[in-house]
Structures are given as structure tokens and as C-alpha cells.
Amino acid sequence: MQKIVANESEPMNRTLPEPDPSKNKIDASLAYHAEPPAPPAPATTDPDGSIIVPAASFAAKNRSAPVSVIKSFLEGTQLLSNGCKSSVGPPCFDPASSAVTYEVTAKAAGSHYLTANFSTWHMDQDLYVSVGGAKAVEVGLFYTVGWWNETQPVEVTLAEGKNTLVFTRTSTRDVMFKDFLLHKKKPTIPPPPGNFTPTPAPPMPSANAYIEVPADTTCEKQGIAPVSAEMCSHACLALGFKSTGARARPDPPGCFVMTTGQYAGNCNYNSNKSAACDPPCTLYGVVTRSLCVRK
């Protein structure tokens, strides 16, 4: 019966249609990536006051932050973050080594709900954000199996006008970011599967683990240990100061914060091993204070 059907049936038309170049994603992607990347798109504000910040449109980054801007598959750009790269970890106790800064303008002061559009092949990731120099809060990342997903919203407070957002990480593997979104109204985003959420990272020391001593004394005079080079950046952020990395200075020694002048609040570790001074210690005429490990 099969032979009869085959012999007596009209032959099928097996001529393949000419491919439509406009619908061939591979050719379109190759052509797109052959072109030089366009400048990153600026942040935009919706009529309701929500702000969309392309991840590639950062204002500045830590000099050692391992991040790069790459083109997305068919359009736009995205930011590849290779994580925190200090010598200690994971977790990495120098989150400032991964810092990327964004500037956004809010029409009015008030609460916004921050989410990140991200993708990663790796488990146990994290992301923190500090708004206007405030204490950093965690933006919960999770294992997305390489798909794009949006994080659960985190409430942040923006001032009217220009605001600075600093993103840091303590995890040490790749994460791709497409956008950061500041929603005016809290969005409803389905939570990730329970087995996709990260395992709890070893807790970093809290602000209670450190102390800023008066300008007329030192850690040694107080009989307590100075903050180490590996922990200095974390101590700065935990105490609400701006960590600007390691610097080679004539004085003071160790981890310190500047208390007056145009750099007030800047916090550094002095990599000059021979640095020494009798308190009160100064740097360029500005009084500094040492950061120590609380007993």
C-alpha cells in the first residue's frame, strides 16, 4: 500500500523559499556587532517620575573595578561586572574595588523602588547600592540560568535634583546588567524559584565592629587594633564614609578618614608602610582620624 501511495501521489513541491534577510537573527546580529558601539543611552524619566538607567551609562567607576560595556545581542548595550577582585574572599571584603557610580535626576524628593534587570550563569551572587552616600542596602540577585530577570524591589530615597547611586559587590563572579529601574510605585515582580536564590553569604562585620577614634589619639594608644588594608574599604562604608581606595601618603598610617575641607568624609588606607605621625595627624593641612577595630 505504501508503494502504491508513493507511486500514484503527486510529487510535493520541496523548493525552499528564499530567506528573508530581515528575519534572519544570526545575520542581523553579525551585522549589528560589526558596527562600532553607539554611545550609551542616557537615563530617561517616565511621566510618573519613574527613572530608567541603562547599566552602560555609568558616570564613573573605581579605577580597579573589573567592568566592561559590551553590545547586546540585537540592540543596545549592557554592562559586564566581573565582581569584587580583592585578595580576600569570597566574600570579598573590599566592595569598593567593584564600585560603579550612576547619576540620576529626580523631579521630586521621595521614595523610589529600585530593581535591576540582570542575567548570570553563576550562583551565590550579590549587589549593594548606596544612594547619596547613605548606608548600602542589598539588591537581591539570584541564579537566572542565563535568562534576563528583574530583582525584587528595594525602597530607596531620592532627593530632588541630582542623586548619586553607587553599586558594589562582594561576590566574585560575572553578572550582566541591562538596566537599573527606579519605579515611582512599588512594582509586583514574581519572586525567583526558591532553589534559585543565593545561599547566605558569610556575614561581613557590621558598623559595630569598627570605631573612629578622636583626632588626638591613635588605635595603638587606645590599645586596639588598626583596621587592616583588606578591611579598610569595608570599614569606611560601614561607618558611612566614602571609600576612595588605597593611597600612598606621607601620613597618617593605616586606615583613616578626613574630617574637614573639600574631601571631608573621604576614607583611605595609606599604603605607605613608613608613614607615621604624632596626633593630631594631618593630610594636606586637613585633620584626619584613625579607624580601628573595636575591642
Q: pLDDT of 104-135, one tens digit each?
A: 999 999 999 999 999 999 888 899 999 998 88
Main-chain phi, psi angles of 207, to 5 degrees: -60, -25
Grid cell 573621604 — which residue?
266
* Burial degree of 32 (CB within 10 A; 0-12, 13-18, 19+): middle
Q: 181 and 97, same structural domain?
A: yes
Contact 225, 293 (CB under 8 A): yes
User: Residue 96 has what pLDDT?
Assistant: 82
Question: Do 66 and 157 sit in the same domain of this protein?
Answer: yes
Q: Is residue 112 one of the residues assigned to a domain? A: yes
Who contacts 294 (Cβ-Cβ below 8 Å, separation ≥6)?
Answer: 208, 209, 210, 211, 224
pLDDT at 87 over 70: no
Q: Are 73 and 148 part of one and the same domain?
A: yes
Contact 290, 256 (CB under 8 A): yes
- Say if residue 180 is in the same domain as residue 52: yes
The better pLDDT of the pair 295, 146 is held by 146
91 inside domain: yes
Q: Which residue has the higher pLDDT, 85 or 148?
A: 148
Looking at the structure, tell me whether residues 185 and 258 fall in a common domain: no
Q: Give the residue among 261, 262, 247, 256 at the shortest CA–CA distance from 281.
A: 256
Relative to beta strand 242-247, strand 266-270 is parallel
Task: Please state, in angstroms and rounded to a whole number, the distance separating the CA atoms of residues 196 and 188.
Answer: 19
Please state, in angstroms and rounded to a whole number, the distance separating the CA atoms of residues 33 and 16.
28
pLDDT of res. 78: 93
In a domain, 1, yes or no: no
Distance from C-alpha of 92 to C-alpha of 170, rounded to nearest angstrom: 5
Same domain? 170 vs 254: no
- The reply to whether 109 and 171 lie within a common domain is yes
Q: Which of 150, 174, 196 is the last residue of a domain?
A: 196
Please state the length of the chain. 295
CATH of the domain at 153: 2.60.120.260
Same domain, 176 and 214: no
Q: Are residues 181 and 70 in the same domain?
A: yes
- pLDDT score of 79: 95
Give the per-residue pLDDT at 230.
Answer: 80
Q: What is the pLDDT of residue 101?
A: 95
Same domain? 246 vs 175: no
Same domain, residue pair 272 and 159 = no
Domain span at residue 73 reads: 34-196
Domain boundary among 143, 167, 196: 196
Rounded to the nearest angstrom, the gap between the alpha carbon of residue 41 and the centroid of all alpha carbons in its chain is 18
Please tell me the predicted confidence (pLDDT) of residue 116.
97
Res. 205: pLDDT tops 80:
no
Number of independent structural domains in the chain? 2
**Which residues of the chain form beta strands (DSSP E)?**
44-45, 51-54, 60-61, 67-71, 77-81, 100-106, 110-119, 128-131, 137-138, 149-150, 154-158, 161-168, 175-183, 210-212, 242-247, 254-258, 266-270, 282-283, 286-293
d(CA 161, CA 245): 28
Considering the domain architecture, whether residues 100 and 191 belong to the same structural domain is answered as yes
Could you tell me the CA-to-CA distances from 195 to 140, 142, 169, 203, 269 in Å, in that order?
A: 14, 9, 21, 21, 39
Domain finish residue from 196, 226, 242: 196
What is the residue-averaged pLDDT of the chain? 87
